[in-house]
Structure 1
Amino acid sequence: MADNVITGYAVKFNEQIVYGNYWREKIARGTFTRTLKEHPDVVMLLDHDSGRVLGRTAAGSLYLRQDSVGLYFALTVDPSTPEGQTALGTVGRQDVKGCSFGFVIRAEEWEDGDEKLPLRTIKDVDLFEITLTAFPAYPTTTAALRSSNSDAARRGIEAAQRKRGILK
């Protein structure tokens, strides 16, 4: 049974995209290591709109974890808000099933390679937001409604809430 938890990958490592026939781009494994330690307050938005906040790590409603696949998230959505209702409805129907993220690049590498377009590898960022969106730049990102009663999302969120003193 699904409830009010949305989980997925806001970023998947080493997946190449093409930006408007200008360059190819990928996010390297480990890109979020520093920022998750130094700047742990990240918000989850709808379509990069800072007026439509769904959760945040400092409040314990958003859990982030970097693993070998990418940047995993678990979001506990407040269904009493209009944004929460929109997120639960559109993600539940899979009208919205991807993510994007807001960041400032701290380290990157460029290479010409064998392709016609240069390749930019992003290696370190200041992450400030992730967002649910219908049009992700990286199409392999994921977002889906999950049950928090029996999975790792619930445990991760509870651990984050305990760490911040929200849950005892």
Structure 2
Amino acid sequence: MNGESERRFTRGLVEVRAAGESVRTIGGYAAKFNTLSRNLGGFVERIDPGFFAKSEGDGWPEAMARYNHDDNMLLGTTGAGTLRLATDGTGLDYSVDVPAARGDVYELVQRGDVQRSSFAFYTFEDDWAMTEQGFPVRTLLSGQLVDVAPVNTPAYLDTSSGLRSLAERAGAELAEVRSAAEAGHLEKFVEQPKNPVVVDVHMDASVVGREVQRTLMALKTSPRGQGDTHPRLAIRQRRAALMQRRTF
């Protein structure tokens, strides 16, 4: 198991689910399966539907809900039944009964000031492959849930754990892998799969942009490209092909 906890944010919204004098509930999807993340710094990531299987099978031991992952902003726990977790075909769904002392968090969600969710986890197993477009993708296969969190700072945090996993897998130095990530050349550490990962409209815009740049460079360097008077058409066709892919 990776000794460092990681955090990821989802594009799903956190919402008010129940309101009353005694119970005020918020919730949403803390994680979504088989959806590519945005560029994490040289690679993208997706969550396998079985990632939470062990945690779920064990009854979500010691899982918590905390505002912005703050230790001092506890919202609920599975042990007390104030936090309820479940997985479905979309991802990891949570509902938490917000305590009276955290009424401000409930109000922020109700007003729409806080709209995103996040989860913290330990990784037991992951896998690395390449997309059809030659971009490294990390798949989270199994792990342990630490907490779920409504957040107002939806930005990916340090991804050193992911890069450390790739370095160990490739038998390379972490510093070398980090340098490659900064240069956008992690593909040399990833074994080329027989069946590359196929992505569609969920692909991060920066990945699509990178493919467009590759197409443009190919047009400039190929004999045909040097005399091609319609490079924009080729780029539009390449972009359309990328965006028409079906998801996994």
- The TM tier, using the shorter chain, reads 0.7 to 0.9
Q: Distance in 1 between matches of 2:25 and 2:146?
A: 21
Q: CA RMSD in A?
A: 2.0
Alignment correspondent of 1:111:
129
Partner SS, residue 89 of structure 2:
coil
Contact 1:17/1:137 (8 A) holds in 2: no
**Aligned pair partner of 1:44 in 44, 65, 69:** 65
Contact 1:100/1:137 (8 A) holds in 2: no
Trace 1:75-94 onto structure 2 (pairs within 5 A): 75-79=96-100, 81=101, 84-94=102-112
Q: Distance in 2 between matches of 1:86 and 1:116?
A: 45
Q: Which has the higher strand share?
A: 1
* Structure whose CA Rg is larger: 2
Gaps of 5+ in 1: 141-168
Alignment correspondent of 1:155:
none
Alignment correspondent of 1:15:
35
Partner SS, residue 71 of structure 2:
strand
Alignment correspondent of 1:70:
91
Q: How far off its partner does 1:15 sit?
A: 1.4
Give the letter for the 2:88 counterpart.
D
Contact 2:18/2:26 (8 A) holds in 1: no
Trace 1:113-152 onto structure 2 (pairs within 5 A): 113-137=131-155
Q: How many residues align?
A: 136
Q: Report % sequence identity.
A: 30
Range 39-48 or range 53-62, more displaced: 39-48
Q: Which has the higher contact order (CA 8 A, sep 6+)?
A: 1
Detail structure 1 runs of 4+ shifted over 4 Å in the superposition.
none
Partner SS, residue 73 of structure 2:
strand
Gaps of 5+ in 2: 1-16, 157-201, 203-248
Q: How far off its partner does 1:2 sit?
A: 4.5
